Amino acid sequence: MVSRIQKVHEERIIHRDIKPDNFLIGGTETTKDTVYVIDFGLAKCYRNSEGEHIPYKDGKNLTGTARYASIATHKGIEQSRRDDLETIGHVLLYFLKGSLPWQGLPGRSKNEKYAAIKKKKIETPLETLCKGQPNEFKEFMEMCRALKFEEEPNYKAMIGLFENCMTRHNFDGKVLDYTWKQNRLSKDKEALKAQMLGVINRRPKKDTDKDETKK
What's the CA gap between 201 and 186, in Å, rounded? 22
What's the CA gap between 197 and 191, in Å, rounded? 10
Q: Alpha helices of the chain — where are they, by DSSP H?
A: 2-10, 71-74, 81-97, 110-123, 126-129, 135-146, 155-168, 184-202, 208-214
Whether 21 is catalytic is no
What's the CA gap between 18 and 38, in Å, rounded? 9
One of 17, 39, 83, 84 is an active-site residue; which one? 17
What's the CA gap between 149 and 161, in Å, rounded? 22
Of 4, 15, 14, 6, nearest to 54 (Cα)? 14
CA angle, residues 200, 205, 208, in degrees to nearest 5: 145
With b for 16 or more beta-carbon neighbours within 10 A and e for fewer, the 164-178 pattern comes to ebeeeeeeeeeeeee
What's the CA gap between 176 and 153, in Å, rounded? 26
What's the CA gap between 144 and 83, in Å, rounded? 8
What's the CA gap between 156 and 2, in Å, rounded? 9
Instruction: Please list the active-site residues.
Output: 17
